Amino acid sequence: PHIQVHSTLFAETVPAIIHRQYTYYLERRTKMKIVTMKIQQLITLLSVAALTAEAWIPSHSTMQRASGSCSGVTSACGSRSSAASRYPSSTAMAMVASSSSSVSSVALPDTSKPLPPHTFAGMVERSLLDRFDEKDIRRVLTSWRLLDQGYEHEEYFGEEDKREESNMVQECHSYVPGLSVTPFWDVNDFDWAKYLQKQYPAIRKEFKQVTRDMEKLKQEGNNIWAGALTEDASSYGVGWKTLVLMDRGRWDADNANLFSTTAKAVRDSGVPVTEVFFASMDPRSSIKQHTDFTNFVLTSHLALEIPCNGENKCRLSVGDETQQWLNGNVMVFDTSLLHDAINESDETRYILMLRVWHPDLTPIEREALQFTYDCLEVPGLVSEDPGERFVAENMAASMKAFPEIQKKAGSSGGFGGGGDDVSGKKGKGKKKGKGGGKKGFGA
């Protein structure tokens, strides 16, 4: 009101100013809506992914955080709790008696409805259906929807008249229906297990050479002998530590180069593996009874260094069966059942541990389950943007590819002193190979 403007100038200028300001307002509002939407999507993605990963991923890190592995000493310690005491009648709805090596007879919640498309779980489901025929992944979709519902599967697989003292109890947060349940599997049924047993001398020799110089190993490797991460892993105890070569289908290039003989043996065996790592167990220690909360992977151990070998001082119990580790022997067992372990010797026990797809899964189901792992690691796989999805797919493929193994020059031994590889060649280790080899997970 304090400025006098010529009427013509006013008529021509003010509408232009108003139009410009209004256009600017609309642009800012649109940008803010986009930003707000992106933030909401990110928050949803991160929160759902965190919750999903905690329950879904059967990785050694999940085992450390949430379940513990190999634990809780049975007859040796006398401290196991019975299935009846752990599951009173009011909570034992799913505890239907089933014979060992059978499939579930428990009625599952309704999973016929698709997940909400705006959630991360819904986006993963949509991507699964874009990639696979629904009839081929029906069990995987059921599992994914059960997980989203927070379903926890509990079932008793022992003899009915032994329920009070039996540990044939399956507990699963991540559950694929229709898979058989057996405490210990016959290793003669797995060609890859027999292959790894033949490679035992070379794998053991490399392991002893590379771990001889722990300071250098810690400098050149990643997370060497990492312990349990949280209080949730209390069943492991302080004496259980790991050295990872592969996690959820992704190779650790540095550690795979340090243990190239082992990495190549695993690759060449053809084992359908999702995790590979060395595990140590301190003298006079035990791992409490627990399950790994996932039924679509089995666990396998190649015994590397077993104190008092053959004297039954290092034992593993799964359900109601107990076996001792024996140097050079492979075990395959179902860690969705209650299990525990003990080392009664005065020396550290070392094994090579693998997590492998359940044999009852079809190749397409394994691929679909691996895709869910990949989505949790590379969320861009579920993006609606083709460019972003293309980048994510290449990233996921690169992470799963077998790493380039650096050639080794001859050496006289010691750390990195070039243990025999699978082909019998010797050499000296170099630091840090890069990923991108032609052979990858599932090759």
Which pLDDT belongs to residue 35? 61
Which pLDDT belongs to residue 226? 86
Cβ neighbours, 10 Å, residue 401: 19
Q: How far apart are CA 419 and CA 339, in angstroms?
A: 34
The per-residue pLDDT of the chain, averaged, comes to: 79
Q: pLDDT (tens digit, 9 = 90+) per residue, 200-247?
A: 999 999 999 999 999 999 999 999 998 865 454 556 666 789 999 999
pTM of the predicted protein model: 0.73
Which pLDDT belongs to residue 69? 37
Cβ(262)–Cβ(245) under 8 Å?
Answer: yes
Which pLDDT belongs to residue 52? 52
Q: pLDDT (tens digit, 9 = 90+) per residue, 391-438?
A: 999 999 999 999 998 876 444 343 333 334 444 443 333 333 333 333
Q: How far apart are CA 373 and CA 400, in angstroms?
A: 11
Q: How far apart are CA 386 and CA 391, in angstroms?
A: 9
Average pLDDT over residues 298-310: 97
